[in-house]
Structure 1
Amino acid sequence: MPGENLTRAEAQERAALVEVDSYEIHLDLTTGDEVFRSTTTVRFRAREGASTFIDHISREVHSVVLNGTELDPALVNDGVRIQLDDLRDDNALTIVSDALYVNTGEGLHRFVDPVDGEVYLYSQFEVPDSRRVFAVFEQPDLKATFRFTVVAPARWQVVSNQPTPEPVVEGETGTWSFEPTPRISSYITALVAGPYTVTRSELTSRDGRTIPLGIFCRASLAEHMDADYIFDTTRKGFAFFEEQFGVAYPFEKYDQLFVPEFNAGAMENAGCVTFTESYVFRAQVTDAIRERRVVTVLHELAHMWFGDLVTMRWWNDLWLNESFAEWASTLATAEATEWTGAWTTFQAMEKTWAYRQDQLPSTHPIVAEIRDLEDVQVNFDGITYAKGGSVLKQLVAWVGLESFMEGVGAYFRKHAWGNTELADLLAELEAASGRDLGEWSKLWLETAGVNTLRPTIETTQDGIITAFTIEQTAPAEWPTLRPHRLAIGFYDEVKGKLVRRERIELDVAGAVTNVPQLVGHLRPALILLNDDDLAYAKIRLDEQSMATALASLRDIDDPLARALVWGAAWDATRDGETPASDYVDLVLANIGAETESTTIRLALAQLAQAARTYVHPARRAATIERIGDALWSLVVDAEPGSDAQFQFVGAFAGLASTERHVDALRGLLDGSRALDGLEVDADLRWQLLDGLVLNGAAGEAEIAAELASDDTATGRQFAARARATIPTAEAKEAAFASVVDQAGASNMIVRYTGLGLVHVNDASSLDAIVDRYHEAIHGIWDTRTYQVAEGLLVGLYPAVVADERLARTTREWLERNESTAPALRRIVVEHLAGVERALEAQERDA
């Protein structure tokens, strides 16, 4: 992996030398199971006599012809770059190679469906992986037109950025010759090919064009593809964005393809968006995931304008792409779909992610320093997406939505098909709003860290407020105190509910802000800073409000207010200000009344983390048992068929720890115990089996039997997780070795193996993995592609051990490897920070 890097300095130097006109790319997908033939002709201009390089990762380069002259591949190709010397003003370069299919989700991914043996291909090029398919100047500011010609089995669907032409068929082989794309960056080009099932529709754009729509998935999943719903969401998104931006959709068609073994949620390839096929619901899923799918569909659609039509010059402005799409998709979800509570979901999920990321030693300004490709790979994080989206939300509140959208529309029109930097967007927003954004940018985009806001209140004996201040603090490493626009809500009991009776909105700045407008008011039962979640800041509750929350969180009427209290309680737990056992009590006492699916999902995940790593080890086993008992009671008491019932069953399976728990799981799995409204489908069967395996009540024989009845891609992933969950040191070592000592496991098998490895109630089975992991770090980084290396290094770290030995071993590795690659070091630094935080929480819980 290290030899595949590209620095920003190199990219800037190349951009100063080269201007690319066009690519003609011919791909022959009929040459076997391992490689495909790739022929690229690129036309570009350069400074006379200059030298540069083009990127291409392949198995073998057969020929390189530059301006009619044959170059010796052995001399000019190092396997990653092809050297180009003595360039002319106008150049034509043709490279013929054999490129490799991958099973890592980087380049052209090849998947064989275990159900029917069919082959499915799809490309994933962000950040630097179009070079694995064709020769290319792999950087976002060297835009060009791309004309694809593809040879493939005639019965396949072949999809790219432009509308799919009719193939020329000879026997069983077809040739598809696509029209050239507009000028776009290489990372948003795309190719998807295979016997995909397709459903087609269309819509009318604001400029009167008919935009063809397509939805694709594997044939073996087609019965589960709810295409009409996706089309409906897409139409709502088109109408919303075209109206808000004042700019018509920029491409000729819009295909959405649900593909196997996808590394992320989705990818914004121009007119050819790819999604994880986990969004094709073959079994019951939570409402949280259904809502997340809608947000993801709209996120990728927003990218057609912000990212695809107008693209960042270099990856330091990646946040502009992702933060804008994150904010815009949440706005569209809330205002244009049935998921009107999307901002509550945003607070619960995205802001929690952002606050967690922003407190790591590796935190960085939203506008991050991106020195090279390795830097950008690790910056697909909670700062780039969630903090950036949160800060944009605050900016919109400051300049006004209408002015913000006016500026964004002007930005799209001015820079269409070009590349930009942050200053270009700020200039248009300043022109539209009349506000100077220089100071705002400096404070919010160029500094890191999250502020904490806490109220200080003085009252008379009968509860009349005599003084109200808001204290703002910042971490020592990032001491910036920022301006915040926020609201304060007063909540009191009305007919058994905590209801907001008063709200004020104000600006907070500096270390202390006085709030004189609240003096003389009667103190309520609950005072909530950042009501309505306008600001990006952690909040604390005063002592009386915390007591109210602990006793009556379930009674808060407004879902967003509840989410804010849930978040404040979790932040205080993570920061060691309140004992983890108190958080366990809070969840168990209130989760049964929560109505918001994402809030439930997040609270249950945090409950498991608190029990396994934040509660003091002396009471951990008893706490896990108590949680299991309480979760089963919640299962029994839940409304039949409800989202809550479904989530409680899954959480119970994940935390089961006693014979009583095992008996309940076994009964649900074999059908001897039924719950009204609960269908035990294929995916839930795997969760129940996983709980049995966790407790040593099932093993390889039961896993093999379940796999025999569900020998699908999903079934194989669940089986990998279950095998890694077997609670013995031998099984953990075997699971670790299966993906570390042997190369070749697909990206999804790596991911699911990691999920099972660290799924323990008793972490002693991972004792040997502590040393094994640290010994393997360099070998993993040096021999695997980035996505697989990251999957192994993140997924296999035994964080659940959470003891001083693990912290010491990780600390010693960092001390011995001070000069290692920054991106690798960042991963390990983040692991250590997590363990140290867990140790502090355990001490507080003692």
Structure 2
Amino acid sequence: MPSLTRDEAVARADLLSVTRMDVALDLDRGPQTFHSLTRIHLTATGDGDTFVDVKPRELHRASLDGVDLDVGLLAEGRLPLAVTAGEHVVEVEATMAYSHDGEGLHRATDPADGEDYVFSHLFLDAAPAVFACIDQPDVKAPYAVSVKAPADWHVIGNGSGEIGDGGVWQLAETKPLSTYFVALCAGPYVSVTDEHDGIALGMWARRSLADQLQEHAPEMLEVTRRSFDYFHSIFGIRYPFDDYDQVFVPEFNAGAMENPGCVVIRDSYLFRGAVGRDELLTRANTISHEMAHMWFGDLVSPQWWDDLWLNESFAEYMAHRCLVEATEYTEAWVDSTMSRKSWGYGAERAPSTHPVAGSPAPDAKSALANFDGISYAKGAAVIRQLIEFIGDEAFLEGIRQYLGDHSFGNGTLADFLGAMERSSGTQLSEWSRGWLLTAGVDTIAVDRAGSVTREAPADHPADRPHAFDIATYTEGAQTSRQALTLDADSAPLTGLDLDAALVLPNAGDLTWATPLLDEASLAALPTELPLITDAQARAVVWVGLRDAVALARVDPRLLVDLGEAALPTETNDSIFSRAGMHLTGRVVRVLLPEDEQDAARARLTRVGEQVLASAEPGSSMALHAARLVARTTDDVEGRLVPWSQGRDLPSGLDGDADFRWILLGQLTRRGVIGAAEIDEALARDQTMSGQLGALTARAAIPTEQAKADAWADLTTNRERSNYELIAIAAGFWGPQDLTLVEPYVARYFGDVPPMTAWLGEDALSRVASMAYPSRFVSAETLELSRAALAGDLQQGVRRSIVDQQSELEEALASRRAFPQAG
């Protein structure tokens, strides 16, 4: 099916404007399909040929101003339309199919009670699978939506809803929206409601999660209220839409989606067991991020997909700023360093790196490929650099100008920069060229002879001015600190203690760069890092080393040494949990040679045990330590078996089903338990989370038959949801004896790409990434991967394989640079 090109979008927008959308949906027609009736009220500037977007199971009829159109002309989601100058009404009636891949109108069954739940996710071009439309971001219109639903269902949408005659819900007409923001959630959802500053607030979840919703709603509503107050104070424009509902839905592909007035959030955020502070922070960040989108993305939308950064970079930045300045999560920038910036740096290292803004997006699908850590994390870092460049007061004034000038319309990079130039009196074309329009991450290093240098990647030369700081430490104490702006390839340093044990560039993490530590600083880290009290500096060390190891500049064994030395005294949840996950999931599992992995894993187990013994029982840190032990220990009889049976559990983990599935997965991959024990555990946890845990555990069973069954389930079962497929992939490659899954390395490249025949691009790209045989670090795997990329692949799968192959190449380079001793 063709993806809308930018040229087509420009031509269609020149010809047509949509003045109103009437959408009537009937969801009471069974679990497979629903009925869709759309009236598109449009105005044509002249005579011309164009098309309406619609992707039906069956197209029943279509008309233009009451005259039937030939529905047989529908081809690849496009219905031809010939218009004359003036106003018209297009009416389209169709039967649509529910999806199970998280796109369009997704329908899921809750195994806890057998109830069905529906939610829409229309980004990037899935709207035509729900209703006929002119599907492009710069064609906005008010929406009047009605929905017929089963009698016990509740319907939530962009506008507040009321149920009328015949069980039909009428949703209030919206402000002008881009098609991809139209939202609909329906099912026996339960709610917690509130009101703040004249705005009705609602939080919704599946009926089986009513207890979790009640437990977590007070904290989430407090973040919601504080975010509203903060954004009202800095944007100068009140929340511009209807009620504010946040709906926690099952099997959602992303973290959340910023539909105006109806934010959709993955319901795994309604934690059902023990939860760490960093996880609560992540959820709070998501809530604030999606609210920031009400202004950046919803009130002012990108004119075309190459300006997605105007949505995501700003929501990313504003959410962290809001958490720090308006909530209890004042450590949000530390969490950003550990979780978000590390994601973005990984995207920069990949061959698919791209500029923050202005990336070529000749069609919608190509833009989707750039929806990554660069658009989010790097974009947020660039905004921090912009503020250093023009000042915060000018930045906020520019924001208010931009939002005010383009309310309920669309904006571009030029519009945004124009507002910033007017507010600051500063010309930004050169700054923009280096930071927004050129890809790549610079390295920053300090020469102890007295200079600091920057170096842009050879493939992406750029002149980026960096505003940052350098700090020095001896015995954990800061001995000097200097803020500077580096706008040349090198500059002299004065006033810094360059004889200190550790010299740390970008210690405050103000800029986007890889800090390269000198040999003396690297040697001092095992002693210095545990003593540094500045959590932000510690996070910079961990993420900088993550980048340096990936670039084969630093031996991965140093990270294991640091884990053993520094994590036992770490006090920040985000640093402990993220560093621990990186060590176990990447450094030990992939970068170290196979015969060193068990010993390194045992060292991390001792770290977990040490922290578990010393942390306050039931604390967030104790929880993360217990999870680290569960992921790494070989103590089957002393830890895995009794904990899985609910015996001798750390405080706070009694009855934690999710923790139990971690343990059962570890026992399964070792062959200690099998299908019977998994079925028994699932019988006690008949929930969506339990179902996913069981799929992962079953895929980990280390027998030839179990692997064959899991692979067939993964690659041929068209009834599996996106979440179920990822769960299977998560357990498949885990056996201690890798020869058991070695035959599937080649099969991955032959069996996964064809899944595009039934799985949406976004969902399949996630499955392709999770299923990639990353544990097989060999030239043979690389050869198979390169051969696959030489063929014809769907764009999303290609991007996933390109990025995973890049990580494979990093692992091979690391092993060559730092071979096993002896």
Do the aligned partners of residues 629 and 696 (structure 1) sit closer, same or farther apart at CA in structure 2, a change above 3 Å counting?
A: farther
**What is the CA deviation profile of residues 148-181 of structure 1, one whole-angstrom value per residue up to 9, with x for unaligned ones?**
011112332111111112x1244xxx11222321
Specify the alignment match of 1:472 in structure 2. Answer: 454
Q: Which moved more, 1:92-101 or 1:195-204?
A: 195-204
Shift of 1:760: 4.2
Match of 1:5 in 2: 3
| Structure 2 letter corresponding to 1:179 | A
Corresponding residue of 1:543: 519
Once the 2 structures are TM-superposed, how far is the Cα of residue 231 of structure 1 from its aligned partner? 1.4
Matched residue, 1:158: 155
Structure 2 residue 534 is the aligned partner of structure 1 residue 558 = yes
String of CA shifts for 1:500-528, please: whole Å, max 9, x gaps.
2422111113322211344xx57323221
2:442 to 436, 439, 451: 451
Structure 2 counterpart of 1:423: 414
SS of the residue aligned with 1:799? coil
The 5 Å alignment of 1:577-592 reads 577-592=553-568
Q: CA deviation at 1:785?
A: 1.5
Superposed CA offset, 1:725-776 (max 9, x none)? 2234443332221021221200110111121123344433321111111112
Describe the shift of the 1:781–1:284 C-alpha distance in structure 2 as closer, same or farther (beyond 3 A). Answer: same
Confirm or deny that 1:531 pairs with 2:522: no
Q: Give the Cα–Cα distance (whole angstroms) in 2 for the partners of residues 213 and 828 of structure 1.
A: 42
> 2:469 aligned to 487, 490, 496, which one?
487
Of 772, 785, 808, which residue of structure 2 is paired with 1:835?
808
Match of 1:392 in 2: 383
Q: 1:845 to 1:86 in 2, by over 3 A?
A: same
Matched residue, 2:616: 639
Does 1:175 find its partner at 2:168? yes
Q: For residue 589 of structure 1, report the CA deviation from its aligned partner.
A: 1.6
Contact 1:147 1:181 (C-alpha < 8 Å) held by counterparts: yes
Contact 1:487 1:504 survives alignment (8 Å): yes
Contact 2:764 / 2:796 at 8 angstroms: preserved in 1? no
Task: Label 1:636 to 1:732 Cα distance change in 2 as closer, same or farther (>3 A).
Answer: farther
Asked whether the 8 Å contact 1:616–1:845 carries over to 2, the reply is no
Matching residue's letter, 1:525? A
Write out aligned runs for 1:142-157 (5 A).
142-157=139-154
- When residues 754 and 262 of structure 1 are mapped into structure 2, their CA distance, relative to the original with a 3 A threshold, is same
* 1:350-361 alignment, distance < 5 Å: 350-361=340-351
CA distance in 1, matches of 2:305, 2:737: 42
Q: Secondary structure at the match of 1:153?
A: coil
User: 1:590 and 1:785 mapped to 2: Cα distance?
Assistant: 43
1:705 aligns with 2:680: yes
2:334 corresponds in structure 1 to 344
Equivalent residue in structure 2 for 1:651, among 628, 647, 654: 628
Answer yes or no: is the 8 Å Cα contact 2:49–2:83 preserved in 1: yes
- What per-residue deviation string (whole Å, max 9, x for no partner) do you get for residues 408-435 of structure 1? 0111111111111011111111111121
Give the structure 2 partner of residue 573 of structure 1.
549
Determine whether 1:223 maps to 2:221: no
1:624 correspondence with 2:606? no
1:202 matched residue in structure 2: 195
> 2:529 is aligned with what amino acid?
L
TM-score computed with the length of structure 1 as normaliser: 0.94
The equivalent residue for 1:401 is 392
Q: Give unmatched runs, 5+ long, in structure 2.
A: none
TM-superposition CA deviations, 1:550-590 (whole Å, max 9, x none): 22311101110111111222222222122111211111221
Partner amino acid, structure 2, of 1:801:
F
Question: Amino acid of the residue matched to residue 635 of structure 1?
Answer: L
Letter in 2 for 1:42: I
Q: Which amino acid aligns with 1:529?
A: P
Corresponding residue for 2:728?
753
Match of 1:514 in 2: 492
> Which deviates more from structure 2 when the two are superposed, residues 32-41 or residues 484-493?
484-493
2:483 corresponds, among 505, 514, 535, to 505
Secondary structure in 2 matching 1:800: coil
Residue 405 of structure 2 aligns to a residue whose secondary structure is: helix
Is 1:122 aligned to residue 97 of structure 2? no
Map Cα deviations across residues 230-249 of structure 1 (whole Å, 9 max, x no partner).
Answer: 11111100000000111111
Q: Does 1:296 align with 2:272?
A: no
CA distance in 1, matches of 2:626, 2:448: 42
TM-score normalised by L of structure 2: 0.96
Task: For 2:647 and 2:353, locate their aligned partners in 1 and report how far apart those are by CA, in whole Å.
Answer: 50
The 1:662/1:9 distance shift into structure 2, 3 A limit, reads farther
The AA in structure 2 aligned to 1:229 is E
Query: What is aligned with 2:591?
Result: 614
Larger mean Cα displacement after TM superposition, 305-314 or 633-642: 633-642
Partner of 1:34: 32
Residue 85 of structure 2 is aligned to residue 103 of structure 1: no
Question: Cα gap change, 1:365/1:808 in structure 2, threshold over 3 Å: closer, same or farther?
Answer: same
Question: What is the aligned counterpart of 1:268 among 258, 266, 269?
Answer: 258
Match of 2:184 among 167, 187, 191: 191
SS in structure 2 at match of 1:516: coil
Query: CA contact under 8 A between 1:473 and 1:481: conserved in structure 2?
Result: no
Question: Displacement of 1:777 after TM fit?
Answer: 4.2
Q: Deviations over 1:185-232 (max 9, x none)?
A: 11111111111111111111xxxxx21111111111011112222111
The answer as to whether partners of 2:563 and 2:604 remain within 8 angstroms in 1 is no
Aligned 8 A contact 1:654 1:690 in 2: no
User: What letter corresponds to residue 14 of structure 1 in structure 2?
Assistant: R
The count of corresponding residues between Structure 1 and Structure 2 is 815
1:432 lines up with 2:429 in the alignment: no
Letter in 2 for 1:445: L
The CA deviation string for residues 654-685 of structure 1, in whole angstroms up to 9 with x for no partner, is 233x3x34541111122343434543511111
Residue 211 of structure 1 aligns with an amino acid whose one-letter code is I
Task: State the distance in 2 between where 1:783 and 1:28 align.
Answer: 24
User: Distance in 1 between the 2:727 and 2:341 partners?
Assistant: 26
2:137 corresponds in structure 1 to 140
Q: Which amino acid aligns with 2:768?
A: L
1:23 equivalent in alignment to 2:21: yes
Query: 1:46–1:90: 8 Å Cα contact kept in structure 2?
Result: yes
Give the Å deviation of 1:780: 2.0
1:677 to 1:234, Cα distance in 2 relative to 1, 3 A: closer
Q: 2:707 aligns with which of 732, 740, 751?
A: 732
Aligned equivalents of 1:297, 1:169: Cα separation in 2: 35
> CA offset at residue 364 of structure 1?
0.6
Rounded to whole Å, the distance in 2 between the matches of 1:706 and 1:723 is 11
Once residues 687 and 807 of structure 1 are traced to their aligned partners in structure 2, the CA distance between those partners, rounded to angstroms, is 30
Q: Which amino acid aligns with 2:501?
A: A
Note if contact 1:614-1:845 (Cα within 8 Å) is conserved in structure 2: no
- Contact 2:160/2:242 (<8 A) preserved: yes
1:662–1:135: structure 2 CA closer, same or farther, 3 Å change rule? farther
Contact 1:51 1:86 (8 Å CA) reproduced: yes
* Percent of residue pairs bearing the same amino acid type: 36
Query: Relative to 1, partners in 2 of residues 1:376 and 1:728: Cα closer, same or farther, differing over 3 Å?
Result: farther
How far, CA to CA, are the matches of 1:516 and 1:559 in structure 2?
Answer: 25
Partners of 2:700 and 2:437 lie apart in 1 by 43
- The worse-fitting range, judged by mean Cα deviation, of 274-283 and 76-85 is 76-85
- Contact 1:740-1:792 within 8 A present in 2 as well: no
Report the more deviating stretch, 676-685 or 305-314: 676-685
Distance 2:715 2:276 in 1: 33
Q: Distance in 2 between matches of 1:417 and 1:445?
A: 25
